Amino acid sequence: MMEIIMAKTYSVKRVAEIFGLSVSALHFYDKKGLLPFVSKNEMGYRIFTDSDLNFIHTICCLKDTGMKIDNIRSYIEFCMEGPTTINKRRQLLEEHRRKIEEQQRVLAERKQEVDEKLSIYRSKDAAEIINHEINYVSAEKSSVNLKNPFAKLQNGRQ
């Protein structure tokens, strides 16, 4: 016997609000085949349930972490095919996770660069350090007969 559930439903507009998306973004996702789980009511309007919101949450997560629409569509298609696609889902998500980890590694490097610059700018010797860098760049450019990008600045200091 099937359990009777009184599901809560949501309009496209409400789902867009919940996820910080535009209505047109949800329509785009639908056109791209990302929303095969969403049903329409007797008037032909898409009506979302809580389980649909779980899928949309996953779609947003995958998109926000850089997964391409085609791969998201594949993932959703695998989900719609049931448990026979567990290995395909796992492989797709493991590959995506590797890409996320690479993005995190690159971001950590960039953050380190930002932290190093902030350390200089917070230092009591910031002006001296920057002047030293300017003098180095000027000497380097001069040594290979290139235009000094700091010429105006240095002429103004003399």
Each residue's pLDDT tens digit, 121-150: 999 999 999 999 999 999 999 999 999 999
155: confidence class by pLDDT, cuts 50, 70, 90? confident
pLDDT value of residue 158: 53
CB distance 96 to 65 below 8 Å:
yes
Phi, psi of 49 (to 5 degrees): -115, 175
Q: Which pTM does this prediction carry?
A: 0.79
Structural domains of the chain, ranges and CATH numbers in brackets:
9-143 (1.10.1660.10)
Dihedral angle of Cα 122, 127, 132, 137, to the nearest 10 degrees: 90
pLDDT value of residue 151: 86
How far CA 101 is from CA of 66, 68, 71, 113, 115, in Å, comes to 12, 16, 18, 19, 21
154: confidence class by pLDDT, cuts 50, 70, 90? confident
pLDDT value of residue 6: 72
pLDDT value of residue 157: 63
Task: Flag whether pLDDT at 5 surpasses 80.
Answer: no
What is the SS3 assignment for 42? coil
